[in-house]
Amino acid sequence: MKLKSFLVAGIAATLLSGCASNKTYYVDQLTGQTTEQETVSGLNYRDFAQAADKMLQTMSNNPRLRHPDASKGAIYAIAMSDVINDTTQRIDTDHLTKKIRIGLLNSGRFLTTTAVGINGAEDKMTAKVRELKNSTLFNQKTVKKDHTAVAPDFSLSGKIGQRNFTLSDSKQEINYYLQLTLTNLETGLAYWEDEVPIVKKGDGRSVSW
């Protein structure tokens, strides 16, 4: 019985120590030191929200993104392009872009179009309602006219990258890079770019997906 109790106690201690070492924490960008804020090894909603807030701030402070006729109420329209997932995780990149879009709209300085996108219209209704122009069911005065949809001025594209580094203390450091670019569709020139790094440190056995 004593041997059995000893083995059970040993296994429990091993499991508890393993659980403790599996914790993951953020790494401070300036000092490189592990913070006290616990997190998961993968990207979560908080990461996307904080990255989006930082990017929106630099975007709002960029004078090139102010419409020349802003004093008359003119604002730019933005279309969503590709956000490439170059990580080991299955990421719904809409989590990042949706947060950005909400911030852009709420700022009052931008509009986003759902009538055009890199993979087709996000909302097909803009084109669909124009098929009603020959229908006898609908009052033709209420049917939306051709040549009235607004083409975007900018496209928002980006990439989410990941690099893992094994450290000497059997820990691993996971570096994520969230990068976005706003391209002027008339000239093809990038008017704004930003990168937000997110660094996490955890046990070497942690899996980031």
Q: Give the model confidence (pLDDT) of 79-128 as tens digits.
A: 999 999 999 888 888 878 888 889 889 988 899 999 999 889 999 999 99
Q: 161-201, pLDDT tens digit by residue?
A: 999 988 877 788 999 999 999 999 999 999 999 999 999 99
What band does 1 get if pLDDT is binned at 50, 70 and 90? low
Instruction: State the CATH number of the domain containing residue 196.
Output: 3.40.50.10610
pLDDT band at 203 (very low <50, low <70, confident <90, very high): confident
State residue 84's pLDDT score. Answer: 93
Angle at Cα 54 formed by Cα 51 and Cα 56, nearest 5°? Answer: 105
For residues 54-61, give the mean pLDDT.
92
Task: For the beta carbon of residue 50, count every other beta carbon within 10 angstroms.
Answer: 14
- Residue 2 in this model has a pLDDT that exceeds 80: no
* Within-domain flag for 140: no
* Whole-angstrom distance, CA of residue 180 vs CA of residue 159: 7
In-domain check, residue 13? no
Comparing CA positions, the residue from 185, 163, 153, 183 lying closest to residue 77 is 153
Residue 19 located in a structural domain: no
Count CB neighbours of 73 within 10 A.
7
State the number of CA atoms in the 13 A half-sphere of 28 facing the CB.
7
pLDDT at 205: 58
Looking at the domain assignment, is residue 119 inside a domain? no
Residue 32, in any domain of the structure: no
Confidence (pLDDT) at 204: 62
Residue 84 falls inside a structural domain: yes
Instruction: Give residue 16's pLDDT.
Output: 41
Q: Is residue 162 in some structural domain?
A: yes
pLDDT in tens, 9-41: 444 443 344 444 578 988 987 787 888 788 888
70-75 contacts: CB < 8 A, separation 24 or more?
Answer: 70/109, 75/108, 75/109, 75/110, 75/111
Give the pLDDT of residue 8.
44
pLDDT for residue 5 is more than 70: no
Residue 75 domain-assigned (yes or no)? yes
To the nearest whole number, what is the mean pLDDT of the chain?
85
Residue 99 belongs to what domain range? Answer: 44-113+150-201
State how many domains the chain has. 1
Q: Which residue has the tokens 């059997």?
A: 170
pLDDT of residue 183: 97
